A = this chain, B = another copy of it.
Amino acid sequence: MKIPPGHPRAESLHIREKLIEQCKKGVVTAAGLVAHGRGEAFDYLLGEKTTKPALKAIEAAAAALSLAEKPVVSVNGNVAALGAEDIVKLSHAVGAKIEVNLFYRSSIRERTIQELLKKAGAREVLGVGKDASARIPELGSERRRVDPDGIFVADVVLVPLEDGDRSEALVKMGKKVIAIDLNPLSRTAQKASITIVDNIIRTLPRLVELAEELRNDKKKCRMILTNFHNRKNLAESIRLINNRLAKLAKEKKCVTLEGEMLEL
């Protein structure tokens, strides 16, 4: 699909095309495409920009990752497709390990994603094949498999686009969970320690930037975390969506998600 460069929703359409391409390569699953669509809808309700509460949460996430002793970034198909380079940069900035963590596991998918991450500059990729030999308690089947040197022993885990069961299980294991989720009402969003309600396309570069800024200032990191209240911040995101919907309805403007011109 050709997207005209001046198209007001060009960014969103390019992201969609990228995912569809990676679906053909086996990185993204069909269910991953549906999940992306849900994200698109919430992003559109948020105005497709990083909001103030999202920025606050990104700052808290950068602080938590900088203070962490064993930080791990969990990567699934959609994350690899949309943010491999930024994930690698982030892992370098905060000394985090990268672990492949899939809802639909298959050894070929694991290895395809591992390769994609290595191409993006990752030196080490955990959670592939026999390495994913540890188990998260209380989860069924393939979804509980984690790397004993990665998520299993991590103190802080960044889970962009994670499912709720797993996020909750990680919290129960005593880990600080940082979620990136466009749906502020999802279980992942509600159960995480730090919830970034934003598109990972926008979040990851900012997170890298802030992590590089903060990593040598432990005192500032601790202050940021003391002043951050996840529940309050999440409620703020929901309020923003509400206000935007009310405004759109009042102005009788129409917006669209289907790859057409925006009339706002």
Q: For A249, list chain B residues within 8 Å (CB).
A: 185, 235, 238-239, 242
Knowing A164-B260, A248-B238, A249-B238, the reply to whether A255 touches B34 (Cβ < 8 A) is no
- A residues 75-118 touching B (CB-CB < 8 Å): none
A241 adjacent to B231 (CB under 8 Å):
no
A218 at the interface (CB under 8 A from B): no
Measured CB to CB, the closest approach of chain B to A187, in angstroms, equals 4
Q: For A30, list chain B residues within 8 Å (CB).
A: 20, 23-24, 30, 33
A36 at the interface (CB under 8 A from B): yes
Of the stretches A38-46, A63-71, A151-159, A219-227, the one at the interface is A38-46
Q: Write the chain B residue with the least CB distance to A161.
A: B258
Measured CB to CB, the closest approach of chain B to A142, in angstroms, equals 12
Q: Interface 1/0s, chain A 141-165, versus B by CB < 8 A?
A: 0000000000000000000000111
Q: For A231, list chain B residues within 8 Å (CB).
A: 252
Q: Write the chain B residue with the least CB distance to A243.
A: B242
- Count of chain A residues with a beta carbon within 8 Å of a chain B beta carbon: 48
Q: How many copies altogether?
A: 2
A37 at the interface (CB under 8 A from B): yes
Q: For A20, list chain B residues within 8 Å (CB).
A: 30-31, 34
B254 adjacent to A245 (CB under 8 Å):
no
Q: Bound complex: CA of A259 vs CA of B20, how far in Å?
A: 22
Measured CB to CB, the closest approach of chain B to A29, in angstroms, equals 9
Knowing A185-B248, A248-B185, the reply to whether A164 touches B242 (Cβ < 8 A) is no
A256 at the interface (CB under 8 A from B): yes
Q: Which residues of A contact B (CB under 8 A)?
A: 1, 16, 19-20, 23-24, 30-31, 33-42, 163-165, 183, 185-191, 231, 235, 238-239, 241-242, 245-246, 248-249, 252, 254-260, 263
> 25 A-B Cβ contacts within 8 A?
A16-B31, A19-B34, A20-B31, A34-B36, A35-B257, A35-B258, A37-B37, A37-B39, A38-B38, A38-B40, A39-B41, A163-B258, A164-B254, A164-B260, A185-B248, A185-B256, A187-B256, A188-B258, A190-B252, A190-B254, A191-B254, A235-B249, A238-B248, A242-B242, A242-B249
